[in-house]
Amino acid sequence: MNYILMIIGFVFVIKGADLLVAASSSLARRLGVSDLVIGLTAVAFGTSLPELFVNLTASIEGTADIALGNILGSNIANILLILGVSGIIFPLAVTRSTVWKEIPLSLLAAILLGLLANDRLIDRAVGGSVLTRIDGLVLLCFFVVFIYYSVGIAMQATDFETQAPSPGWTSRRVLYMMGLGLVGLIVGGKWVVDGAVAMATTFGISQRVIGLTVVAIGTSLPELATSAVAAYRKKPELAIGNVVGSNIFNIFLILGLSAVIRPIAIGPGTNRDIAVVLMASMLLFVFMFTGSKHKLDRWEAALFVAGYAAYTGFTVLNSLPS
């Protein structure tokens, strides 16, 4: 039953996120907010809502390994799997701004996480490394700076085509849909976490690995759908922007909130996963200068997918009981 509820939970969090973004976009238009701001904030935030509510539930219930594994696994899947699949569909050319600002900012987020998660290595802390509430507040401060930057870009943009939905809803329906979306996210998030804990217990696999694989892929489905459709429609900037923005949201906002709610202990193997996030982010930056300049070519995208398959296979096999 836990597994069935876990699958239903994924449906709930994804559909709940969709309803909440649609309602928020409609409300923003009623308040006179531009499509540009909606596109660079509401839509980017919406694709990260599944990770947010799964992590908040995991933090409240004290399953820190799922919370941290979900974020690291989602960021790895976003770059290696989602950009890989999208780049195979259509080569992803990006602007100079994305290459020199947004991609390095996502790399900075991974570097900052690596520093904050290594108290034992850097400060020689006794008792292991922990993402404390202060660390969470530091991440949230970086998130505020990122939002300020994003809104500034949105206000200056002249050629950005928003992907936000534009339903002509009444005020009552907007509030109803927002409430329904929140309920779906909250209930679905709890079912996903409970199912992940049950799966880890049944198969003798750590909660960290379940978070890195099953939960991370499930909560990354909105990013996969958005980027794959964008690539198919030959809108590469949106495909990459969605992934890079989501990775920044995941670390600065979601992990920051999770640590503020309950400090997150850094378990064995976490540094390896952080290193994979760093390498994937760095490789994305390097690929902007190999082959076609400022473009993720199909052969590079194929390497991403192969790398994700190798990483996932190694993680699962390494965690199986001997």
pLDDT of residue 165: 44
Give me the pLDDT at residue 93, please.
Answer: 87
Q: Which domain holds residue 151?
A: 2-317
Label the pairing between strands 92-93 and 295-296: antiparallel
Structural domain contains residue 141: yes
Q: What pLDDT score does 162 carry?
A: 44
Answer yes or no: is 228 within a domain.
yes
The per-residue pLDDT for 131 is 92
Q: What is the CATH number of the domain that holds 138?
A: 1.20.1420.30
Query: Which of 93, 116, 101 has its CA nearest to residue 291?
Result: 93
101: in domain: yes
Query: pTM of the predicted model, to two decimals?
Result: 0.81
Q: Are 70 and 219 in contact (CB under 8 A)?
A: yes
109, part of any domain: yes
What is residue 204's predicted lDDT score, i.e. its pLDDT?
A: 79
| Residues 106, 281 contacting (CB under 8 angstroms) | yes
What pLDDT score does 3 carry? 77
In a domain, 167, yes or no: yes
Closest by Cα among 174, 229, 213 to 47: 229
Count other C-beta atoms under 10 Å from residue 125's C-beta: 12
CB atoms within 10 A of CB 19: 22
Q: What total of structural domains would you count in the chain?
A: 1
Whether 322 maps to a domain, the answer reads no
Q: How many CB atoms lie within 10 A of CB 126?
A: 7
Q: Does residue 214 lie within any of the structural domains? A: yes
Write down the pLDDT at residue 285. Answer: 93
What six digits make up the tokens of 276? 């994979």
* 212 falls within a domain: yes
| Residue 28: per-residue pLDDT | 64
Calpha distance 279→289 (Å, rounded): 16
Whether 301 and 87 have beta carbons less than 8 Å apart is answered as yes
- List per-residue pLDDT tens for the chain, 322 residues long: 777 888 888 888 778 767 766 776 676 666 665 544 554 566 567 767 788 888 888 888 888 788 888 899 999 999 999 999 999 999 988 878 778 888 899 999 999 999 999 877 777 666 678 899 999 999 999 999 988 887 776 666 544 444 444 445 677 887 788 788 778 877 887 888 788 878 777 877 888 888 888 888 887 877 787 778 778 888 787 778 778 888 998 999 999 999 999 999 888 888 999 999 999 999 999 999 987 888 999 999 999 999 999 999 998 888 776 6
